[in-house]
């Protein structure tokens, strides 16, 4: 195709997954084109939700399957350390350490058993209160712990990634949609116009658009098998900041509070409402329930202004049954196409590393091959 732009990798979606993937691949020397169909960067859950990086304690306690719980907690721990090291300026340091609370006795016993594997130590419930004397936690709690979860400003994280990628020569197109990818040619549309570029690999980091993407291409991507994508809705409520530190409660239906600058983000534990089509319509009864639970659980001044927000989270399932998955998924759809979806923003750096590993042959073509690179069976 004469005069066509050439790229090593086209990354579809400029949310947390896409930005992180484009950053990792460009750091390894790939010529990257990053496109986002929205009119702004990162329009997905990481900028609409609670704004913190998980340290592993919450998921170690809440996931029923012990193997998945351990695996998820370990990924969270590694992702949290990555953000702590590489995005120091985006962390709200004056809101840490976060307190994690469990009410139910059975759930608390399970949490204590699993936390021991991750060096998470229980603390006296009084300690969780004394460090923040102006804040009153109402109700019973069986166990508490300090955890490494980080209140974080994802807008600052993404600005750093964009700035870094700009210096590496990454091309970023906002308001652009991938129409097709055939024989190495990507057809991209914007405002009724069409662009065609030649790319070696496509990485789909499409977030909640992944569901429609798979439905439109299932016949073409036979490797998917019975894999499906589900969409889950949750809500957050914003209030004026009323606590110095963050508090998370593991028990379903309880509300957690995470300070972010001058305000607090309040969300409901394990709120996962499955929906068929993506939308940001709020469920008034859910928002009202979060407000009520907030005021009965914490000593919250009755602020005149609350702001509520809906969030969408996609998850990949290998069968139609089961709760929302927080696993990392990197799936080879074809020889030149990869689907990548992190369980949550905390895991995006680990997901991007998996994508890079699958593209090693392209990325390291000038490096002497290792014995394992040529081994076949």
DSSP string, 175-191: S-EEEEEETTEEEEEET
Per-residue pLDDT band for 242 (boundaries 50, 70, 90) equals: confident
Q: What is the mean predicted confidence (pLDDT) over 121-131? A: 76
Per-residue pLDDT band for 174 (boundaries 50, 70, 90) equals: very high
What's the sign of the alpha-carbon dihedral 87, 89, 92, 98?
Answer: positive
Quickly count: other Cβ atoms within 10 Å of residue 177's Cβ: 15
* pLDDT tens digits, 309-355: 999 888 888 765 556 677 899 999 999 999 999 988 999 999 999 99
Summary mean pLDDT of the chain: 90
Asked if residue 343 has a cis previous peptide bond (ω within 30° of 0), the answer is no
pLDDT at residue 277 greater than cutoff 60 = yes
Q: Which residue has the higher pLDDT, 133 or 97?
A: 97
Domains and CATH numbers, the chain: 1-51+153-227+318-377 (3.50.50.60), 94-151+230-316 (3.30.9.10)
Per-residue pLDDT band for 2 (boundaries 50, 70, 90) equals: very low
Do residues 206 and 12 lie in contact, with contact meaning Cβ atoms separated by under 8 Å? yes
Return d(Cα 35, Cα 45) in angstroms, integer. 18
Residue 140 is predicted with a pLDDT of: 81
Q: pLDDT exceeding 90 applies to what percent of the chain? A: 61
Q: Compute CA distances 8 → 177, 272, 312, whole Å.
A: 18, 37, 31
Q: Which residue has the higher pLDDT, 18 or 241?
A: 18
Residue 322 is predicted with a pLDDT of: 58
Do residues 268 and 255 lie in contact, with contact meaning Cβ atoms separated by under 8 Å? yes
Bridge partners of 189, per DSSP, are 177, 194
Residue 282 is predicted with a pLDDT of: 96
Kindly report which listed range (58-62, 131-135, 167-171) carries the lowest average pLDDT score. Answer: 131-135
* pLDDT tens digits, 186-236: 999 998 899 999 999 999 999 989 998 988 888 888 878 888 899 999 999
CA 350, distance to chain mean position in Å, is 11
Q: How many Cα atoms are found within 13 Å in the side-chain-facing hemisphere of 103?
A: 15
Per-residue pLDDT band for 3 (boundaries 50, 70, 90) equals: very low
Return d(Cα 177, Cα 156) in angstroms, integer. 25
Do residues 72 and 59 lie in contact, with contact meaning Cβ atoms separated by under 8 Å? yes
Return d(Cα 359, Cα 14) in angstroms, integer. 19
* pLDDT tens digits, 20-78: 999 999 999 999 999 999 999 998 877 777 688 999 999 999 999 999 999 999 999 99
Do residues 111 and 61 lie in contact, with contact meaning Cβ atoms separated by under 8 Å? yes
pLDDT at residue 134 greater than cutoff 80 = no
Residue 60 is predicted with a pLDDT of: 93
Return d(Cα 91, Cα 113) in angstroms, integer. 29
Residue 319 is predicted with a pLDDT of: 62
Do residues 146 and 98 lie in contact, with contact meaning Cβ atoms separated by under 8 Å? yes
Residue 168 is predicted with a pLDDT of: 96
pLDDT at residue 12 greater than cutoff 50 = yes
Residue 226 is predicted with a pLDDT of: 82
Residue 320 is predicted with a pLDDT of: 56
Q: What is the mean predicted confidence (pLDDT) over 228-253? A: 91
Residue 224 is predicted with a pLDDT of: 82
Q: What is the CA radius of gyration of the chain?
A: 22
Residue 340 is predicted with a pLDDT of: 96
CA 354, distance to chain mean position in Å, is 15
Q: What is the mean predicted confidence (pLDDT) over 162-169? A: 96
Provide the 3-class DSSP secondary structure of residue 45.
Answer: helix
Q: pLDDT exceeding 70 applies to what percent of the chain? A: 95
């Amino acid at each position: 195709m004469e005069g066509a732009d050439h790229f090593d990798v086209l990354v579809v979606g400029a949310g947390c997954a896409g930005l992180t993937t484009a950053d990792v691949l460009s750091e390894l020397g790939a010529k990257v084109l990053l496109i986002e169909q929205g009119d702004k960067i990162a329009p997905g859950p990481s900028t609409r939700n609670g704004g913190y990086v998980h340290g592993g304690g919450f998921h170690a306690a809440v996931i029923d399957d012990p193997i998945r719980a351990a695996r998820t907690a370990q990924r969270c721990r590694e992702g949290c350390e990555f953000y702590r090291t590489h995005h120091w300026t985006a962390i709200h340091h004056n809101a840490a350490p976060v307190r994690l609370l469990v009410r139910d006795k059975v759930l608390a016993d399970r949490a204590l058993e699993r936390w021991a594997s991750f060096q998470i130590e229980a603390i006296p419930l009084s300690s969780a209160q004394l460090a923040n004397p102006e804040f009153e936690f109402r109700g019973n709690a069986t166990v508490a712990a300090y955890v490494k979860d980080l209140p974080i400003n994802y807008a600052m994280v993404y600005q750093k990634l964009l700035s870094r990628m700009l210096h590496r020569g990454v091309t970023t197109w906002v308001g652009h949609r991938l129409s097709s990818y055939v024989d190495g040619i990507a057809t991209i549309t914007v405002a009724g116009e069409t662009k065609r570029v030649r790319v070696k690999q496509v990485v789909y980091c499409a977030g909640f658009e992944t569901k429609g993407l798979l439905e439109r291409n299932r016949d073409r991507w036979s490797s998917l098998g019975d894999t499906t994508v589900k969409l889950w809705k949750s809500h957050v409520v914003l209030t004026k900041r009323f606590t110095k530190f963050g508090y998370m409660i593991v028990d379903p239906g309880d509300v957690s509070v995470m300070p972010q600058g001058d305000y607090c983000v309040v969300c409901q534990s394990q709120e996962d409402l499955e929906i068929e089509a993506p939308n940001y319509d709020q469920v008034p009864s859910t928002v009202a329930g979060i407000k009520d639970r907030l005021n009965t659980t914490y000593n919250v001044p009755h602020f005149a202004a609350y702001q509520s927000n809906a969030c969408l989270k996609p998850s990949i399932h290998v069968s139609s049954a089961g709760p929302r998955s927080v696993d990392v998924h990197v799936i080879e759809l074809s020889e030149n196409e990869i689907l990548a979806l992190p369980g949550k923003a905390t895991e995006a750096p680990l997901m991007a590393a998996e994508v890079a590993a699958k593209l090693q042959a392209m990325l390291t073509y000038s490096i002497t091959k290792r014995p394992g690179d040529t081994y076949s069976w």
